[in-house]
């Protein structure tokens, strides 16, 4: 616990890890595979403890814990284990004639000692999947989980040293001051997952030591529902992910832009779907993580100028909010200007897909963009014309589960990416190596230059 650690102890911890890294212990593929195996065993052997920690921190059900924290972590581990040997292979490159005879290649080098700062909303997945990438790349890793998921943070601090190399992977618990104390030491990389505002602070704290950053941030992820969409499927997929973790998911659908001609039918289908999904406990509100977030969301509700077509109620007693659909809010009201990160879903009417594209492009670049449409041409247009971290057509959030695809934001939604090989690259230095022979060694390239030598050099280079 950093609360119990002073700056000197933080410095000692990082210094020890530097020594471990410098010893070369974390470089061989065998070490990397052994850590990945150990991590897999940790998750499998402690699934019940992970479920209990998530229930305690976030009131999450066992199904949701498996779906959103356990299964995707195991998938990342398995994918890395299968591929890490291949990823580590040097990449030979063809060289221009004027460089020959020589050989050139790119060699993937571990960065050194890296820092992973996690959020509270998927505390295991968003701490352990960056860890997978960092150890696959042969680094020593400090993890700073979120203090807002204390049971999950404590469980990781307890279990990780029992499974993975405890001198190469450590957990430092604590709040923002713990991240700051760590960042002050300087790292070879930091991967931060959290909100955009804190992301700015991370980048500022990383600047004095020139620590490179990957920022996995948030923002508003819009959904376009075109007139030719399968409205039943769109409503099901939107409602499913919006209800998950009470909408407190970075790639949850933030708001919907629906074409006017299908607006009423879509809203009706959405309401029916929400009722179906909540049939077992129709009156249960959605739990919100803390008072600050609860107050923020209820403030959005009070300030809304839209029509609340379902939900709208909240309970201070158990800090819950009913899933709420707000029809045609003012585009300038708080719910439309800030990331929602809760169970509120604004639905705005647009005349056509052009208007939807224009609306999204007039705002910060989203982390995820979703569009439901049967038209290939419309899908192509949206993919080409709207900058976003990632795009999913006819589904929500599924791209996060494909380790073959890079996951990350752009602009205000983040910088850099990870998952699968992209994570391996994030935590590796791509070292270029050019290996030449001593001979031939043409004299004319060295000074003093004659006219003839210069003419030859111009032809060569």
Residues near ligand NAD (CB under 6 A) = 117-121, 126, 144, 146-148, 175-176, 179-180, 193-195, 198, 201-202, 216-218, 250, 339, 341, 367, 409, 414
Structure tokens at 12: 């000692």
H or E stretch at 143: strand 140-144
**Which residue, 197 or 441, is less far from ligand NAD as judged by CB?**
197
* Lookup result for tokens 């994570």: 423
**What backbone torsions phi and psi does residue 434 show, to the nearest 5 degrees?**
-120, 120
Question: In angstroms, what is the minimal distance from the CB of 26 to ligand NAD?
Answer: 24
- Cβ atoms of 106 and 430 closer than 8 Å: yes
**Which residue, 76 or 259, is less far from ligand NAD as judged by CB?**
76
Helix (H, G, I), strand (E, B) or coil at 19: helix
Residues serving a catalytic function are 216, 250
Fill in the DSSP letter of residue 258: E
Please, how many CA atoms are within 13 Å of residue 103, restricted to the half-sphere of its CB?
A: 6
**Which residue, 138 or 414, is less far from ligand NAD as judged by CB?**
414
If you count DSSP H runs as helices and E runs as strands, how many of each does the chain have, helices first? Answer: 17, 19
Question: Residue 414 and residue 422: Cα distance in Å, rounded?
Answer: 15
**Which residue, 129 or 269, is less far from ligand NAD as judged by CB?**
129
Residue 192: strand pairing partners: 117, 215
| Cα-only R_g, the chain | 25
Q: Which residue is nearest to ligand NAD (CB)?
A: 218
Question: In angstroms, what is the minimal distance from the CB of 413 to ligand NAD?
Answer: 7
Contacts of 8 (CB under 8 A, 6+ apart): none
Question: In angstroms, what is the minimal distance from the CB of 218 to ligand NAD?
Answer: 2
Question: In angstroms, what is the minimal distance from the CB of 25 to ligand NAD?
Answer: 28
Closest CA relative to residue 172, chosen from 162, 164, 182:
182
**Which residue, 165 or 339, is less far from ligand NAD as judged by CB?**
339
Question: In angstroms, what is the minimal distance from the CB of 252 to ligand NAD?
Answer: 8
H or E stretch at 214: strand 213-216
């Amino acid at each position: 616990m950093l609360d119990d650690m002073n700056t000197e102890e933080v410095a000692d911890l990082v210094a020890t890890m530097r020594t471990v890294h410098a010893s070369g212990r974390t470089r061989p593929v065998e070490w990397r595979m052994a850590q990945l195996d150990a991590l897999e065993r940790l998750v499998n052997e402690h699934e019940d403890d992970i479920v209990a920690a998530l229930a305690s921190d976030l009131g999450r059900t066992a199904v949701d814990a498996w779906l959103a924290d356990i299964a995707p972590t195991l998938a990342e581990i398995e994918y890395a284990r299968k591929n890490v040997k291949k990823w580590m292979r040097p990449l030979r490159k063809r060289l221009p004639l004027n460089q020959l005879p020589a050989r050139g290649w790119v060699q993937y080098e571990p960065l050194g000692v890296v820092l992973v700062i996690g959020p509270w909303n998927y505390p295991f997945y968003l701490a352990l999947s960056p860890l997978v990438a960092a150890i696959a790349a042969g680094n020593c890793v400090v993890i700073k989980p979120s203090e807002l998921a204390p049971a999950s943070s404590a469980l990781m601090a307890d279990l990780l040293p029992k499974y993975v190399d405890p001198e190469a992977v450590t957990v430092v618990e604590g709040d923002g001051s713990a991240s700051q104390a760590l960042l002050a030491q300087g790292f070879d990389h930091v991967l931060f997952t959290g909100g955009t505002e804190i992301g700015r602070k991370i980048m500022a704290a990383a600047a004095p030591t020139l620590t490179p950053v990957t920022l996995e941030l948030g923002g508003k992820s819009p959904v376009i529902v075109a007139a030719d969409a399968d409205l039943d499927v769109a409503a099901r997929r939107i409602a499913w992910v919006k209800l998950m973790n009470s909408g407190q998911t970075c790639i949850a659908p933030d708001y919907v832009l629906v074409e006017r001609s299908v607006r009423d039918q879509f809203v009706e289908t959405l309401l029916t779907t929400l009722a179906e999904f909540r049939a077992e406990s129709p009156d249960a509100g959605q739990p919100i993580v803390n008072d600050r977030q609860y107050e923020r969301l209820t403030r959005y509700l009070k300030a809304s100028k839209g029509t609340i077509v379902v939900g709208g109620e909240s309970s201070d007693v158990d800090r819950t909010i009913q899933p709420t659909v707000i029809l045609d809010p003012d585009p300038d009201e708080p719910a439309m200007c800030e990331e929602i990160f809760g169970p509120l879903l604004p639905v705005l009417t647009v005349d056509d897909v052009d208007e939807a594209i224009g609306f999204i492009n007039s705002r910060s670049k989203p982390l995820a963009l979703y569009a439901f449409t049967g038209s290939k041409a419309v899908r192509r247009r949206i993919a080409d014309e709207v900058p976003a971290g990632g795009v999913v057509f006819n589904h929500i959030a599924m791209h996060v589960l494909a380790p073959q695809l890079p996951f990350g934001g752009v602009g205000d939604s983040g910088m850099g990416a990870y998952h699968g090989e992209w994570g391996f690259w994030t935590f590796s230095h791509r070292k270029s190596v050019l290996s030449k022979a001593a001979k031939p060694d043409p004299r004319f390239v060295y000074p003093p230059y004659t006219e003839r030598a210069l003419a030859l050099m111009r032809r060569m280079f």
